[in-house]
């Protein structure tokens, strides 16, 4: 049984379904990447896993426990961390305060977690007193990831973490994400930069129109000529 098991998810916001029997699983400490063309329902699938989309069918389990009916807030308490694509920091609060707000639901001492985040993202320690809104795009993404890590999640979900950052910053972010996974945290991530993302992925999902089209290891997908031709541009 996988750590995260979201199976046969079907649902949408209005009458029309966006997801059609979509299945996503992530093993402990592994990186799973969702790629696909625009409008394929990648972000929607991620939101469904996090409880932000009403499902008509399918179920979501985390570590064997059924969490299908839980609210996003309760899923955070169960060990999920979510980094939205945009508006993912508190702009007029300092970096440190952002991390502190990430730990809001924790009653214990979170200083060691904050130190771990600072170890992972040293630049944040340097800018801990600066407002998050004044940072560069890449640094802001680091704050966003750091904020989500503050609850010590078992599963971290990232919605296009590299959107709008330069290629160098993107590589660095991916390195950090691998580091996070090495600490035993499972990662589920939606990415536009499919090729680079699949390179670091243990598992890749290609979604088309809200349904699973191809599912395999990242390397296998990169090697598949069909996938290369249709989704990776040759």
Partner 1 sequence: MELVNALVAITNYVIIPATAYGAQLALGALGVTLIYSILRFSNFAHGDTMAFGTGVVILVTWGFQSLGISFGPLPTALLALPFGILATAALMLGTDKVVYQYYRKVRAAPVVMVMVSVGVMFVMNALTRFLIGVDQINFDDGARFVINARQWREMTGLAEPLTLRSTQVITVVTAIITVAILFWFLNRTRTGKSMRAFSDNEDLALLSGIDPNKVVAVTWIITGALATIAGTLYGLDKSFKAFTYFQLLLPIFASAIVGGIGNPVGAIAGGFVISFSEVGLTYAWKKVATYLIPNWEPDGLVQLLSTDYKYAVSFTILILVLIFKPTGLFKGKIV
Q: Could you list the residues that contact partner 1 (CB under 8 A)?
A: 72-73, 76-77, 82, 84, 87-93, 97, 100-102, 104-105, 147, 151
Closer to partner 1 at the Cβ: 89 or 95?
89
Q: Which residue, 51, 46, 84, 79, is CA-closest to 154?
A: 79
Instruction: Specify the DSSP class assigned to residue 164.
Output: T
Stretch (H or E) spanning 66:
strand 65-66
Least separation in angstroms between CB 87 and partner 1: 6
Tokens of 73: 């807030």
Closer to partner 1 at the Cβ: 91 or 167?
91
Tokens of 151: 């609850």
Least separation in angstroms between CB 190 and partner 1: 16
Closer to partner 1 at the Cβ: 93 or 123?
93
Tokens of 190: 């939606």
Tokens of 71: 């609210």
Instruction: State the CB neighbour count (10 A cutoff) for residue 175.
Output: 11
Least separation in angstroms between CB 72 and partner 1: 6
Place of tokens 């970096």: 95
Tokens of 78: 């169960």
Contact between residue 76 and residue 39 where contact means Cβ atoms under 8 Å apart? no
Least separation in angstroms between CB 92 and partner 1: 5
Least separation in angstroms between CB 2 and partner 1: 24
Closer to partner 1 at the Cβ: 108 or 168?
108
Instruction: Specify the DSSP class assigned to residue 154.
Output: S
Closer to partner 1 at the Cβ: 151 or 162?
151
State the Rg of the chain over Cα: 17
Instruction: Specify the DSSP class assigned to residue 94.
Output: B
Rounded to whole angstroms, the Cα distance separating 172 from 152 reads: 22
Least separation in angstroms between CB 209 and partner 1: 27
Closer to partner 1 at the Cβ: 100 or 216?
100
């Amino acid at each position: 049984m996988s750590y995260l098991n979201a199976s046969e998810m079907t649902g949408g916001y209005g009458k029309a379904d966006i997801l059609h029997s979509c299945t996503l699983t992530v093993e402990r400490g592994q990186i799973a990447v969702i790629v696909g063309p625009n409008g394929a329902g990648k972000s929607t699938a991620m939101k469904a896993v996090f409880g932000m989309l009403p499902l008509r069918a399918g179920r979501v389990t985390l570590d064997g426990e059924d969490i299908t009916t839980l609210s996003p807030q309760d899923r955070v308490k169960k060990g999920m961390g979510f980094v939205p694509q945009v508006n993912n920091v508190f702009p007029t609060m300092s970096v440190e305060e952002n991390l502190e707000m990430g730990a809001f639901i924790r009653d214990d001492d979170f200083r060691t977690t904050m130190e771990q985040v600072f170890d992972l993202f040293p630049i944040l320690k340097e800018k801990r007193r600066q407002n998050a809104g004044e940072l560069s795009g890449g640094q802001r993404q680091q704050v966003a990831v750091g904020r989500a890590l503050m609850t010590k999640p078992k599963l971290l979900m990232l919605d296009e973490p590299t959107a709008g950052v330069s290629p160098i910053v993107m590589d660095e972010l991916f390195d950090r994400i691998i580091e996070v996974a090495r600490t035993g945290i499972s990662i589920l991530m939606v990415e536009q930069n499919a090729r680079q993302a699949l390179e670091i992925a243990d598992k890749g999902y290609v979604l088309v129109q809200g349904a699973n089209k191809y599912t395999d290891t990242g390397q296998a997908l990169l090697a598949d000529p069909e996938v290369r031709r249709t989704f990776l541009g040759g």
